[in-house]
Amino acid sequence: MADTAPASELVTLEVDGRSVEVAPGSLVWDACERAGVFVPVYCAHKKLEPVAVCRMCLVEVQGMPKLQPACATRVSPGMVVRTATEQVRKFRDSNLEFLLLNHPLDCPVCDRGGECDLQDFTQRYGPGQSRQSITEKVHFNKAVPLSDKIILDQERCILCWRCVRYYEEITGEREIVLQERGVHTLVDTFEHQPLRSEFQGNLPEICPVGALTHAKYRFRARPWDLRRTASICSHCSYGCSVFVDAREDQVARYASSDNPDVDDSWLCDRGRYSFPELNRKDRVLSPEAATAGGRQVVSYQDALGRAAGQLLRVGSDNGGEAIGVIGSDLMTNEEAFLLQWLARDIIGTPHLGHRLLPAPEISPLDFELGIAEIEECDQVVVLGPLPEQLAPVLTLRLFKAGTKRARKILRVEAPFTVAAIRKQVIGEGRVGVVAAESDREAALKLRTALTGAGRRCEVLTLMERVNSRGCQDLGLLPGWLPGYRRAPSPGMELPDILEAAIAGRIKALLVVNPGPDLEADPRLEAALKGAEVTVVVAAFPGVASRNATVLLPGRTIVEKAGTVTNAEGRVQRVRTAVEPKFAFPSDLKILGDLARAMGGELGAQPLAGPVYDLLARAVPAYRGAQAGLRPRWEATA
Partner 1 sequence: MFRELMGGMRITMREMLNRPITIQYPEEQRPVPPRHRGRHILHRYDNGLEKCIGCELCAGACPVGCIYVQAAENDPEHPVSPGERYAVRYEINLLRCIYCGYCAEACPTEAITLGPRLDLVDYKRERLVATKDDLLEAWPGFQPLPMAVAKGGGPAASQPTPLGAGSTHDGPAGSAPGLRPPIPGRRGPGPL
Edge-to-edge strands of the sheet including 408-412?
A: 408-412, 379-383, 429-436, 455-462
Shortest reach from residue 82's CB to partner 1, in Å: 36
Residue 245's identity, in one-letter code, is: D
Q: Binding residues for partner 1, how many (CB under 8 A)?
A: 13
Among 18, 137, 222, 589, binds partner 1 (CB under 8 A): 222
User: Which stretch in 44-52, 186-194, 220-228, 305-313 sits in contact with partner 1 by CB under 8 A?
Assistant: 220-228
DSSP conformation class of 487: P
| For partner 1, the closer CB: 210 or 287 | 210
**CB nearer to partner 1: pick between 122 and 586:** 122
Instruction: Work out which of 225, 277, 441, 579 binds partner 1, going by CB under 8 A.
Output: 225
Give the distance, in angstroms, between the CA of residue 427 and the centroid of all CA atoms in the same chain.
34
User: Got the DSSP string for 583-634?
Assistant: ----HHHHHHHHHHHTT---SS-SSHHHHHHHHHHHSGGGTT-TTTPPP---
Minimum CB–partner distance for residue 283 and partner 1 (Å): 21
Judge whether 396 and 449 are in contact, CB under 8 Å.
Answer: no
Give 222 or 313: the residue with its C-beta nearer to partner 1: 222
86 binds partner 1 (CB under 8 A): no
State which residue, 224 or 406, has the beta carbon closest to partner 1: 224
Answer for which of 18, 82, 142, 596 binds partner 1 (CB under 8 A) is: 142
CA atoms 403, 407, 410, 416: torsion sign: negative
* Segment 101 to 140, residues that bind partner 1, using CB under 8 A: 106, 108-109, 113-114
Number of H helices, E strands in the chain: 19, 28
Closer Cβ to partner 1, 114 or 172, answer by number: 114
Site map (CB under 8 A) of partner 1, residues 393-422, x = contact: ------------------------------
Q: Which is closer to partner 1, CB of 222 or CB of 408? A: 222
**Considering the rule CB under 8 A, would residue 143 count as an interface residue with partner 1?**
yes
Binding residue for partner 1 (CB under 8 A) from 55, 74, 220, 270?
220
Q: Rounded to the nearest 5°, which phi and psi values hold at 444?
A: -70, -35
* Binds partner 1 by CB under 8 A, chosen from 219, 293, 406, 452: 219
Contacting residue, 46, 174, 196, 218, with partner 1 by CB under 8 A: 218
SS3 (DSSP) at 230: strand
Instruction: Give the Cα separation of 287 and 306 in Å (integer).
Output: 11
Question: Residue 182 interacts with partner 1 (CB under 8 A)?
Answer: no
Q: How far is CA 79 from CA 12, 35, 63, in A?
A: 8, 13, 9
User: Using alpha carbons only, what angle is made at residue 33 by residues 162 and 98, rounded to the nearest 5 degrees?
Assistant: 45
Which residue, 111 or 334, has its beta carbon nearer to partner 1? 111
Q: How many other CB atoms sit within 10 Å of the CB of residue 172?
A: 14
Q: Write the DSSP assignment of 354-369 as a string of letters.
A: S-SS--SS--GGGB-S
**Rounded CA gap, 97 and 131, in Å?**
9
Smallest gap from Cβ 113 to partner 1, in A, equals 7
What is the footprint of partner 1 within residues 272-311 (CB under 8 A)?
Answer: none
Q: Please identify which residue in 138, 224, 282, 316 interacts with partner 1, judged by CB under 8 A.
A: 224
The residues binding partner 1 (CB under 8 A) are 106, 108-109, 113-114, 142-143, 218-220, 222, 224-225
